[in-house]
Amino acid sequence: MIYAPPDGAMNVRPVLAEIRERALAWREGMRAQIINFTLLPMSPVDRSFLQQSVGNGPIQLILRDYSTCRVQATGIRNVWSVQFFNSVDDIILDTLEVGGIPEIALAAAEDLEDSAERLHEIIEACSK
C-alpha cells in the first residue's frame, strides 16, 4: 500500500508505484531493473518519504575499490539501494535496483576460485 505523501512531495508517488510494480513482476533469472535517482527531480520531502516507505532491510555492504559503494537491502523483498560515493563521500550515483543481489556485490568467478584454493590450502595445513 502506498500512503499519501506529505505536503511538499513532488514525484515520490509515481516512483513508489513503479517500485511496487517492478518488485511484484520480478522473478529469478530476470534482469534487474534500475531506477536512477541521480537524474530524477526529487525534493528532500520526496527522498525522506521514499526512504520511510521502502525502509531498511537486514543487509548492508560497503564496497571499496576505485570509489566507495554502499549496497543496502530495503524492507521490500528484492529491492536494493545502491549508492556510489566519490573520494569526499558525496553521492555520485544513487539508485534502487529491483532484482536479485546487485551485480556490484557479487564476487567475480576468479575471486571465488582463488578463495576456494586458499581454503583448500588452509584445510591441508590444518590436517597435518
For residue 69, pLDDT over 60 is answered with yes
Q: What's the confidence (pLDDT) of residue 111?
A: 84
Half-sphere exposure of 51 (CA within 13 A, CB side): 9
What is the overall mean pLDDT for the chain? Answer: 91
Higher pLDDT pick, 97 / 2: 97
Q: How far, rounded to the nearest angstrom, does the alpha carbon of residue 21 sit from its chain's CA centroid?
A: 17
DSSP string, 50-89: HHHHH-EEEEEEEEESSSEEEEEEESSTTEEEEEEE-TTS
- Nearest residue to 8 (alpha-carbon basis) of 40, 44, 52, 53: 44
Q: What's the confidence (pLDDT) of residue 66?
A: 79
Q: What's the confidence (pLDDT) of residue 1?
A: 56
Higher pLDDT pick, 2 / 98: 98
Mean pLDDT of 64-87: 93
Distance, CA of 21 to CA of 26 (rounded, Å): 9
pLDDT digits (tens, 9 = 90+) for 105-126: 888 888 888 898 999 899 988 9
Query: Residue 79 — very low, low, confident or very high, per pLDDT cuts 50/70/90?
Result: very high
For residue 2, pLDDT over 90 is answered with no
Distance, CA of 88 to CA of 85 (rounded, Å): 8
Q: What's the confidence (pLDDT) of residue 4?
A: 81
- Nearest residue to 77 (alpha-carbon basis) of 50, 108, 54: 54
Distance, CA of 112 to CA of 119 (rounded, Å): 10
Structure-block grid coordinates of residue 76:
521490500
